[in-house]
Structure 1
Amino acid sequence: MLSTASCVEKLMLQGCNFQSFTHTDELAYSLEGNNIHYGAAQNPKLAGHACGGSSMGSAAAVAKDLADIGLGTDTGGSIRIPASYCGLFGIRPSHDVIAKDGLIPLAAPFDTIGWFTSSAELLKEVGDVLLPKQPINPVNTLVIADELLELVDPSLEATLLNSLALTKKQFSKHKRFSVPSKQIFTELSDAFRVLQGRSIAHTYRDWLEQPKRLSHFAPAIQARFTMALSLTEQEEREAKKVQQHWQALVANNLDSKSCLFLPTTPTTAPLLGADTNALRMQIITLSAIAGLSRSAQVHIPMPCLANGAPYGFSLMMSHGNDKSLLACIQLIHTQLK
């Protein structure tokens, strides 16, 4: 029996009209915004540049004003990266707070359903419909990790620091994110790569190992699937240690009234067709911060740069504080412009 995914049905019951399905990267296993079978999505806000992926079609539709709300998935950054590249608000909710019925999984321990909007108000309104009941706490503390600010392209450092200075004014308290060593940040991308890959292999191994199956995918995605199938239990155990360490650090640094300031992406949107293999792991170093800790993260767009490129930053709160985060962003956003 056919049925409508509950996240779509809830929005329609509140008066939303379903407009269309949109394309993603192949099996959502990319952050590029390209699909060799259907083509790349061009960035409506920056001609000749990528939307980012994997939720490229939803981001392009909202950025082009073809839709008010774009639903998508975020496993390793697939809402947050297109939001950054296209100048949109985009949320990766806390893991497992929104039902995933109707979702084709990529890596279940990290898969989430998120959404894009052009305004903080609508972003929160969608959350009021899709998110479960949660206490809404006043968020008064901004947590800052200087090590994360070093992960962006040098050309964006001044822009990011300006965003941080504006954001700090909206919080009565500031504190440093305390880590024993900044090495933990360099370990996150590999830990995420391994844990995501092991989950993909567990779900899709029999299907992927059928003759000539991998030949249907783009070369970069073929390589990721091959890597996933080759990962070992020992690699998974070591990656879980990194994840557990990171989760403990997040628990020690964030509470229900504090949020972390962090870059969403290390660069603005790359050119269409550019080689993004090296950029992918730089992105995952940032996007794994929320993924490995099961946290809620929202990208907040800022005024475009002098060259017209969209950019912004993120705020992140620990698991289960999604509504507090959305309320906080709606409250402060008008003061950030």
Structure 2
Amino acid sequence: MSRWDERVWQLLGDPLLHGSPTGPLAGESVAVKDLYDVAGLSVGAGNPARLAATTPADADAPVVAALLAAGASLRGIAQTDEFAYSLAGTNAHHGTPPNPAAPGRISGGSSSGSAAAVALGEASIGLGTDTGGSIRVPAAYQGLFGIRTSHGLVARDGVLPLAPSFDAVGWLTRDADLLARVGAVLVPGTTTSADRRLVTVPALLELADVEVAAAVAGWQPRTPRPRTWPVDELASWRDAFVTLQAWEAWQAHGGWLADRLDTLGADVRARFERAGAVGEEEAATARAVVVAARETIRALVDDQVLVLPAAPTVAPLLGDGLAARLQATREATLALTCVASIGGLPAVTVPLRTSSGLPCGVCLLAAPGRDHDLLDLARELT
């Protein structure tokens, strides 16, 4: 019998590292996604072959060091989907972490282990990353609070990249207060005086399943102003995001993976095989679409707070036909999550329940740099 659940943890301590005895996060514990450097440990990125081949880090990633200095202990290294290239949490080597909020359903990824550790009560903070929804999706599936920070606002030094144009630091907690207290440690700046008017885009809400859309519409504590967005462009935005993400992922990892694709699970391998086939011209075309979309998204969000589903569905059931179902879910999910990813926006997820009692999430988006505004708003509204 394993000493710990290897679906959740790559390595677990009691704790692995103690934080400062004093500080704003004293008494809290952190599950660190297997992408962050921790001195003396190797980053496996959810792939046993990489874990075996990688030398230990010389120093902690600045984000990890900041959490320890603020008093949080490092509980352990949490599992992730391989190279963070998934939204499901179904790691082919270690299995799917349990989802205590929705037993028999997937955990969501790629910050799957970090989310499960928090949901199970084995850590109070789940440190992760979000490229295309890897904080927002597991938060929604497991009934957690989560934040994807503004792109580039929190340093990603010592964090294994997937697609640097979209990668962002994020974390998950069981309550909004702790989510904000971690933000006070990690996120530069303070609350702004910008508008906190809530706006909604009915066409974005309609991209979610009926029960999820109803939960999001029913939650809104202030009557949001409806806005019309050019949602007919969403499909092209998502496709450009997927293409540029793939190209950047291959630039980051293709050199090592080219002769080791057989070490990957089938779903992640298929994505990397596609990534390896993306040429410079295709990537440049996708980048041009992303750059234009980013300007459009930021102009539309402006100084308001956009309310939309964190994920369009509840967590899919495990079982027969999962691979095919996950592909369809991934495409639907990215149509919503790519908005914040392309825009480089901060995104805070607040947990909800559908009428049938399953976890889902509402996502609050704002302009880059308004992370503290969203964290404060989540505290006020929950």
Task: Provide the TM-score with structure 1 as the length reference.
Answer: 0.91
Correspondence list, 1:182-197, <5 A: 182-197=231-246
- Give distance in 1, aligned partners of 2:150 and 2:62: 17
- Give distance in 1, aligned partners of 2:257 and 2:338: 25
Q: In structure 1, which of residues 21, 34, 39 is the aligned counterpart of residue 90 of structure 2? A: 34
- Give distance in 2, aligned partners of 1:52 and 1:261: 21
**Closer/same/farther in 2, CA of residues 41 and 102 from structure 1, 3 Å limit:** same
Cα-Cα RMSD: 1.6
Query: How many residues matched?
Result: 322
- Given that 1:136 and 1:327 are in contact with CA atoms closer than 8 Å, whether structure 2 keeps it comes out as no
- Give distance in 2, aligned partners of 1:143 and 1:202: 38
* Offset, 1:324: 1.3
- Given that 1:250 and 1:318 are in contact with CA atoms closer than 8 Å, whether structure 2 keeps it comes out as no
- Corresponding residue for 2:284? 237
Give, as a single letter, the amino acid of the residue that structure 2 aligns with 1:250: I
Deviation larger for 44-53 or 4-13 = 4-13
- Give distance in 2, aligned partners of 1:190 and 1:132: 32
- Give distance in 2, aligned partners of 1:314 and 1:135: 19
- Given that 2:216 and 2:308 are in contact with CA atoms closer than 8 Å, whether structure 1 keeps it comes out as no
Seq. identity, %: 38
- Give distance in 2, aligned partners of 1:243 and 1:168: 32
- Give distance in 2, aligned partners of 1:64 and 1:205: 35
Aligned pair 1:218/2:268, yes or no?
A: no
* Offset, 1:48: 0.9
- Given that 2:97 and 2:116 are in contact with CA atoms closer than 8 Å, whether structure 1 keeps it comes out as yes
* Offset, 1:306: 4.4
Give, as a single letter, the amino acid of the residue that structure 2 aligns with 1:249: T
5+ long unaligned stretches in structure 1: none
Q: In structure 2, which of residues 126, 132, 140 is the aligned counterpart of residue 84 of structure 1? A: 140
* Offset, 1:88: 0.3
- Given that 1:88 and 1:116 are in contact with CA atoms closer than 8 Å, whether structure 2 keeps it comes out as yes
Give, as a single letter, the amino acid of the residue that structure 2 aligns with 1:281: E
Task: Provide the TM-score with structure 2 as the length reference.
Answer: 0.80
- Give distance in 1, aligned partners of 2:177 and 2:270: 40
Give, as a single letter, the amino acid of the residue that structure 1 aligns with 2:342: L
Aligned pair 1:246/2:293, yes or no?
A: yes
Correspondence list, 1:147-296, <5 A: 147-163=203-219, 166-169=220-223, 174-179=224-229, 181-210=230-259, 213-256=260-303, 258-273=304-319, 274-275=322-323, 276-296=326-346
- Corresponding residue for 2:50? none
* Offset, 1:298: 0.8
Give, as a single letter, the amino acid of the residue that structure 2 aligns with 1:331: E
- Given that 2:101 and 2:119 are in contact with CA atoms closer than 8 Å, whether structure 1 keeps it comes out as yes
SS across alignment from 2:74: coil
- Given that 2:215 and 2:355 are in contact with CA atoms closer than 8 Å, whether structure 1 keeps it comes out as no
- Corresponding residue for 1:145? 201
* Offset, 1:178: 4.1
Give, as a single letter, the amino acid of the residue that structure 2 aligns with 1:209: A
- Corresponding residue for 2:21? none
- Give distance in 2, aligned partners of 1:94 and 1:108: 13
- Given that 1:152 and 1:267 are in contact with CA atoms closer than 8 Å, whether structure 2 keeps it comes out as yes
- Give distance in 2, aligned partners of 1:241 and 1:176: 29
The answer to which structure, 1 or 2, has the higher relative contact order (CA under 8 A, 6+ apart) is 1
- Give distance in 2, aligned partners of 1:229 and 1:177: 39
- Give distance in 2, aligned partners of 1:49 and 1:8: 30
Give, as a single letter, the amino acid of the residue that structure 1 aligns with 2:92: I
- Given that 1:134 and 1:320 are in contact with CA atoms closer than 8 Å, whether structure 2 keeps it comes out as no
- Corresponding residue for 1:314? 363
- Give distance in 2, aligned partners of 1:17 and 1:289: 34
- Give distance in 2, aligned partners of 1:82 and 1:33: 8
Deviation larger for 107-116 or 234-243 = 234-243
Q: In structure 1, which of residues 10, 16, 25 is the aligned counterpart of residue 66 of structure 2? A: 10
